[in-house]
Amino acid sequence: MLRSTLLEILDHNWYLVFFVYGLAFFLMGFSIALRGRGPSSFRLGQYLPLLAVFGLTHGLAEWLYIFLSPGMAARGRQTLQGAVLTGGHAALMALSFAFLLSFGLSLLASRWGWSKGWQRLPFLMAAVWLYVFLARRPADPGNFSAWLTSTEVMARYFLALPGAVTSSLGLFLQREEVKEVHYPPLDRGLVGASLAFALYAFAGGMVVPPAPFPPASLINTSLLLQWGLPVQLWRTAAAVLAAYFIIRTLDLYEIENRRRLEELRRRELVWLERERIRRDLHDGVIQSVYGFSLGLDHALALLKKEPEACGAQLRRLRDRADGLLNELRRYLQQLELAPGLPGRAVPILEDLLADFTASTGMEVNFHWRGRQEKDMDADQRSHFYHMASEILSNIRRHASATRVEVQLDLGSTGLGLAVADNGVGFRWEEAADSRGMGLFNLRERAAMAGGRLDIKSLPGKGTRVTVWLPYSAPGGDNGNGH
């Protein structure tokens, strides 16, 4: 009963099945064409355009079925319309399978280090198929349907079947490369697409129209129809699943674009920090060394005439040298790599504030509340350390403060840091020359870390800097991955 009902529904709606079948592949190809523009560093991204051409051409080929009535296929050579539709459909279908096979072989060739010549093999096979297609055209119009059937069987066996198998295997193997992005939906999309093309290898490659030679005489569309499982439904299901999962994997391009943007911002931040260090060395250390050199010249001048004054001058220079060493030590500490830092925010801040108090003599009140549930990853440690160092460095160099209040709030997913001083404050329009680069660095680091930064300051009212940072960097293995 169910079998007869299913066949009756298919018989009355076969055109709708072919429309959905073609639409699924066409939308897959169109989506790749829209989102897959530009170069990609991932193997999958480099070869998805081949799959896009397959989807577009195969979708059009399946839509041509809607216009091909059984009578038109039989009379294809007798009318111009029939010849164009039947011949065009067969050639377009074979061409689409060639692009599918090229996609699968390209993935495997790049994965296993094969020669690029493998990527051209499908089009050579398609050319051979086209030659046979034209050379074997029958003189008797009565053999026209048999000729179309045999050429379709050849296209499915020699192009569609290996194309679907290699694509399924190639997509599955891409999981290893995309694991580094830590985005589980992408991995699930690759698995789903691999299974969808495996299903299509059976429905679109192994199950062919009946032909008088094995295996087409054994496994064919008529056999599945007798079992009540029309192959058109299997192919449509495979097409819909393939389109759904491939479209999900297109997040790869968004992830890659975000990584490129982050890399550009990281390089810009490195350049800005180098420029800041150059400026700080020039304004601080180099000037101190220059003053130290002048002091030595003065001591040499006093050495013969006033030995006691020379000794006092040398003692002052020794103190200045100690201060210079401490300043250089602070610069070196700022250049330390994050892996050497603890994963918890409290000890990082305690060390920074201890050095800050020892070097400035300012009153520092540090309070923290909450509990840090997980360690910060390496990137976040670096961002947190350098942001806290930059804030304290700005207070040391510009604020003329006597007291600093530091509040640390530890949450379940991130931390909040508030640093306030009772210094001279500043106006934003006047900050470009003296501290503009440091403030820009802070904003860039907060953005790269997926956090937020807020700075409030008024002349004579001091400055308050508030930072919120997540414990894990954006895109890291923090549970959601995206």
Model confidence pLDDT, tens digit, residues 327-384: 777 667 666 554 467 888 999 899 889 888 877 888 999 999 998 878 888 878 888 9
Same domain, 117 and 263: yes
- CATH code of the domain covering residue 6: 1.20.1070
Same domain, 256 and 358: no
Residue 324 lies in a domain: no
Residue 291 lies in a domain: no
Q: How many CB atoms lie within 10 A of CB 290?
A: 10
Residue 18 lies in a domain: yes
Residue 387 lies in a domain: yes
The whole-number pLDDT of residue 179 equals: 81
The whole-number pLDDT of residue 245 equals: 95
| The one-letter amino acid at 243 | A
Q: How many CB atoms lie within 10 A of CB 441?
A: 18
Of the three residues 268, 288, 314, the one that is the final residue of a domain is 268
Same domain, 120 and 244: yes
| The one-letter amino acid at 241 | L
Residue 285 lies in a domain: no
> Domain residues for 443?
341-474
What is the pLDDT averaged over residues 39-60? Answer: 88
Of the three residues 246, 268, 290, the one that is the final residue of a domain is 268
Question: 265-274, 313-322, 462-471 — which is least confidently predicted?
Answer: 265-274
pLDDT exceeds cutoff 50 at 438? yes
d(CA 101, CA 108): 11
Pair 14, 69: CB distance under 8 Å: no
According to DSSP, residue 208 is labeled B
Global pTM value: 0.60
pLDDT exceeds cutoff 70 at 436? no
Q: What is the mean pLDDT of the chain?
A: 81
Same domain, 233 and 378: no
Quote the number of domains for the chain. 2
Same domain, 256 and 369: no
Same domain, 251 and 378: no
Same domain, 350 and 209: no
Same domain, 350 and 234: no
What is the pLDDT averaged over residues 121-142? Answer: 82
Question: 21-35, 272-286, 315-329 — which is least confidently predicted?
Answer: 272-286
How would you classify the pairing of strands 403-410 and 363-370? Answer: parallel
